[in-house]
């Protein structure tokens, strides 16, 4: 079966996203590197729509990285509770905040290796910060994007995405040299709205003509 070329894939996703872009709070406003890191911790296994209100409140509660007070931790836990995993997220934010304050002078590192040394920061979060905050050409690969590429190109879904070198390499090859942020947003939006884990909307997918997953459904 013929597959989309990379330029074709980019054009189709950009065109689709021009009418389906999700204008989240953090996409429309300037957000500090520290708050991008906190945002990524909130977005783990959580829909972005659920995170918006909580994130805005946390920005005010924790304006800069430092050792969190007992009061901040209690209030942070209450704010995060509706998202789930409140203990885990609260501890992760506290650990990362203290690390950034004590070892990086309150500044977010700008390299992948240094970001990965921050407690609770994984490959996806580090790449997202490099792309969305620093504007670097950094591919991102979460569960939604990995699922899209695996379905599209008939690739077995990996057990651990952060270790799937072949998928990270594919994501890097597909990522354009310009409009990097927008393209990565396209991927996130497409995975959330079209190529979903359950009941994907293959009937209206603009990529279905050459999609391995779609063709296998016949």
Please state the pTM of the whole predicted model. 0.93
* Distance of alpha carbon 10 from alpha carbon 24, whole angstroms: 22
pLDDT at 218: 62
Phi, psi of 213 (to 5 degrees): -65, -45
| Sequence-separated (6 or more) residues with CB below 8 Å from residue 157 | 146, 147, 150
- The answer to whether 74 touches 60, Cβ cutoff 8 Å, is no
Three-class SS of residue 159? coil
Overall average pLDDT of the 146-161 stretch? 94
Over residues 40-81, the pLDDT tens digits come to: 999 998 999 999 999 999 999 999 999 999 999 999 999 999
* Distance of alpha carbon 168 from alpha carbon 126, whole angstroms: 13
The token pair that represents 207 in the structure block: 């990529």
Overall average pLDDT of the 75-89 stretch? 95
- The answer to whether 140 touches 180, Cβ cutoff 8 Å, is no
| Sequence-separated (6 or more) residues with CB below 8 Å from residue 67 | 94, 97, 98, 101, 102
Please name which of 14, 12, 40, 15 lies closest in space to residue 26, comparing C-alpha atoms: 40
Over residues 155-214, the pLDDT tens digits come to: 999 999 999 999 999 999 999 999 999 999 999 999 999 999 999 999 999 999 999 899
Q: Residue 123: pLDDT above 60?
A: yes
Which domains are present in the chain?
6-23+138-215 (1.10.1670.10), 25-133 (1.10.340.30)
* Distance of alpha carbon 187 from alpha carbon 169, whole angstroms: 16
- The CA-based angle 196-142-211, given to 5 degrees, is 45
Over residues 17-46, the pLDDT tens digits come to: 999 999 999 999 999 999 999 999 999 989
- The answer to whether 95 touches 120, Cβ cutoff 8 Å, is yes
- The answer to whether 16 touches 186, Cβ cutoff 8 Å, is yes
- The answer to whether 137 touches 176, Cβ cutoff 8 Å, is no
């Amino acid at each position: 079966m013929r597959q989309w070329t990379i330029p074709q894939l980019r054009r189709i996703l950009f065109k689709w996203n021009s009418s389906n872009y999700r204008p989240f709070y953090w996409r429309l406003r300037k957000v500090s590197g520290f708050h991008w890191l906190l945002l990524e911790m909130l977005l783990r296994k959580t829909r972005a729509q659920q995170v918006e209100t909580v994130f805005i409140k946390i920005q005010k509660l924790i304006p800069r990285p430092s050792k969190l007070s007992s009061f901040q931790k209690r209030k942070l836990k209450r704010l995060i509770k509706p998202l789930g995993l409140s203990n885990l997220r609260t501890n992760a934010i506290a650990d990362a905040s203290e690390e950034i304050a004590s070892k990086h002078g309150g500044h977010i590192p700008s390299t992948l290796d240094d970001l990965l040394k921050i407690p609770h920061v994984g490959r996806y979060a580090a790449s997202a910060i490099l792309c969305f905050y620093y504007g670097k050409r950094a591919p991102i690969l979460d569960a939604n994007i990995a699922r899209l590429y695996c379905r599209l190109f008939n690739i077995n879904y990996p057990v651990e995405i952060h270790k799937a070198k072949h998928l990270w390499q594919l994501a890097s090859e597909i990522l354009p040299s310009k409009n990097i942020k927008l393209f990565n947003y396209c991927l996130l939006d497409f995975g959330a709205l079209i190529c979903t884990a359950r009941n994907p909307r293959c009937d209206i997918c603009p990529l279905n003509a050459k999609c391995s997953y779609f063709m296998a459904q016949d």
